[in-house]
Amino acid sequence: MQTVNLSPGMENREFNSEGYLETHFDTRGDPYMAMIAESDNLLNIYYHLRYEVFCEERGFIAPRADLLDKVESDNHAIHLLLYHQERDLFVGGVRMILPQTEYPFNVLPAIELDDSPFHQQFIDHTLPFPNQTTMEISRLLISKKRIGIIRNHLDKQPLNQTAPSLAYLFKEIYQISKQQHLTHFLSIQAPALIYLMQTLYVPVIKIGQPVHYVGKLRQPCYNSFEDIVKYTKARHQKFYNFYVGE
């Protein structure tokens, strides 16, 4: 049984990834559900949740009168909401910016960022992934305040809810990648998030040095969905079955 010790500043507790699957998914059913924010109402819930996390919790963005965090790139994205079914509460979400195949010279925001190594690779035609079948994963968030509500409300829940909730988001991201015929993703992620995803058997390939992005230093990275699935299958069959829906 593999126990992952999270360093200070990430989580002040242990998260046993295998034990969570054994004792939680199998006995309680799915506590979380990831859903596409397709209606205006769900989109506003997602944008407001983003505002709560990036403005009110973390101070990464400036206050806004409408209490929504929405930018131009959201017009070309699929947005996911993470919902805790027993507590009836939205706790997180993520944005998947899709490639604009009809406009071949329009690139993803992480590639446009001047400090990003992806930017120079695009100029040099050396991107390590196909531009036309790669999505950008960004604005991934889990609300500490709302996760705290769940932790305090439910008996016999694992203390760490952040890492398990991320597994549900990745499962839906993977399913959407198949529907959209997308092969890769790129992202600029906080080092703590990269570490947590590794504990969930979702590795990334780091590119270059960390850059300043959305309020802090973050690491440019990418991977192919096929390679992640192969990696997971070789190391943890239960996580593999969970992600691919078997």
Dist CA 230 CA 214 (whole Å): 31
Task: Identify the CATH number of the domain in which residue 133 sits.
Answer: 3.40.630.30
Residue in the block written with tokens 């769940």:
150
Dist CA 156 CA 45 (whole Å): 29
In a domain, 177, yes or no: yes
Please name every residue paired with 212 in a beta bridge, in sequence order, or none if there are none: 217
Dist CA 110 CA 64 (whole Å): 24
In a domain, 212, yes or no: yes
What domain range includes position 229? 10-244
How do 216-224 and 184-189 pair as beta strands? antiparallel
pLDDT band of residue 243 (cuts 50, 70, 90) is: very high
Dist CA 243 CA 246 (whole Å): 8
Long-range contacts: 59-62, Cβ < 8 Å, 24+? 59/215, 60/214, 60/215, 60/216, 61/214, 61/215
Q: What pLDDT, on the 0 to 100 scale, is given for residue 103?
A: 61
In a domain, 210, yes or no: yes
Contact 33, 83 (CB under 8 A): yes
Query: How many domains, in total, are found in the chain?
Result: 1
Contact 108, 182 (CB under 8 A): no
User: What pTM does this model have?
Assistant: 0.84
In a domain, 184, yes or no: yes
In a domain, 2, yes or no: no
Residue in the block written with tokens 């989580």:
11
Q: What is the DSSP letter of 72?
A: G
Q: What pLDDT, on the 0 to 100 scale, is given for residue 8?
A: 35
pLDDT in tens, 98-143: 998 766 556 899 999 888 999 999 989 999 999 899 999 999 999 8
In a domain, 170, yes or no: yes
Tokens, residue 79: 């947005």
On the question of pLDDT at 56 being above 50, the answer is yes
Distance of CA 219 to the CA centre of its chain: 14
Dist CA 180 CA 151 (whole Å): 35
In a domain, 4, yes or no: no
pLDDT in tens, 61-103: 889 899 999 999 999 999 999 998 888 889 999 999 999 876 6
Long-range contacts: 211-215, Cβ < 8 Å, 24+? 211/113, 211/115, 211/116, 212/115, 213/113, 213/115, 213/116, 213/188, 214/54, 214/60, 214/61, 214/139, 214/188, 215/54, 215/58, 215/59, 215/60, 215/61
Q: What pLDDT, on the 0 to 100 scale, is given for residue 2?
A: 32
Residue in the block written with tokens 């998260």:
15
In a domain, 131, yes or no: yes
